[in-house]
Amino acid sequence: MGVLMLIILYTFYPMYFASSALGGMFWDGNSFPIVSFILILICPFAYIIVSIINIFYAKKLIKQKCKEKLKKLTEVSKFGSIPFWIINFIILVIVGILGVVATRGAGIIFLPILMLLTYILFLGTSVFSISYIKLLYQEGEIVSLHKNMHIILQLCFILDIVDIIYLKIKLNQKRTNEEKT
């Protein structure tokens, strides 16, 4: 499921640019380019649907105590989406600057909307990591305070990746120390 989520993420911008080109080809200036509109909506809705499915799948994995599966899905969804977020940031900066310049400053009101939509996409990548943290807490590998701190970090750009790397290193050190004793 994590890989499917990444496939949808990585098809979003190509779909958007392809639909813009198709919309330009089929738009006669009087009617809304329906093909473009449909193509633009496919990826975000597919992503939201897969994210919702992932929530239920993650809950199932918690019940089954599949820690390694959750760990792997966390790494796939977090580390696999890094290039997407870099590209997304660059595109949003360019669109934001062009929008503000083209509208002589009035376009700045749309920047929070773009940021909110990006954040909603970002939350989908946090499903497995939050579930993994919850399972670590249930199995006694982290305490309540740490669980809450890790969950908050999973809801913040960049800090989520740093937190997953930290957790991975700490848990590997803990397991290594337990094996030595």
Confidence of residue 25 (pLDDT cuts 50, 70, 90): very low
This prediction has a pTM of 0.79
Share of the chain above pLDDT 90, in %: 39
Calculate mean pLDDT across residues 18-45. Answer: 59
**pLDDT tens digits, 160-177:** 999 999 999 998 898 888
Dist. CA 133–CA 2, nearest whole Å:
16
Query: Quick one: which H or E segment has residue 108?
Result: none
Dist. CA 92–CA 114, nearest whole Å:
8
What's the pLDDT at 105?
A: 80
The DSSP letter of residue 109 is G
Residue bearing the bigger pLDDT, 55 or 19: 55
Highest mean pLDDT among 17-31, 36-50, 135-149: 135-149
Highest mean pLDDT among 9-18, 48-57, 87-96: 48-57
pLDDT for residue 136 is more than 50: yes
**pLDDT tens digits, 55-104:** 999 999 999 999 999 999 999 999 998 988 888 888 888 878 887 888 88
Calculate mean pLDDT across residues 28-36. Answer: 56
CA distances from residue 113 to 1, 90, 95, 108 in whole angstroms, order as listed? 28, 16, 12, 10
154-175: b (≥16 Cβ within 10 Å) or e: beeeeebbebbeebeeeeeeee
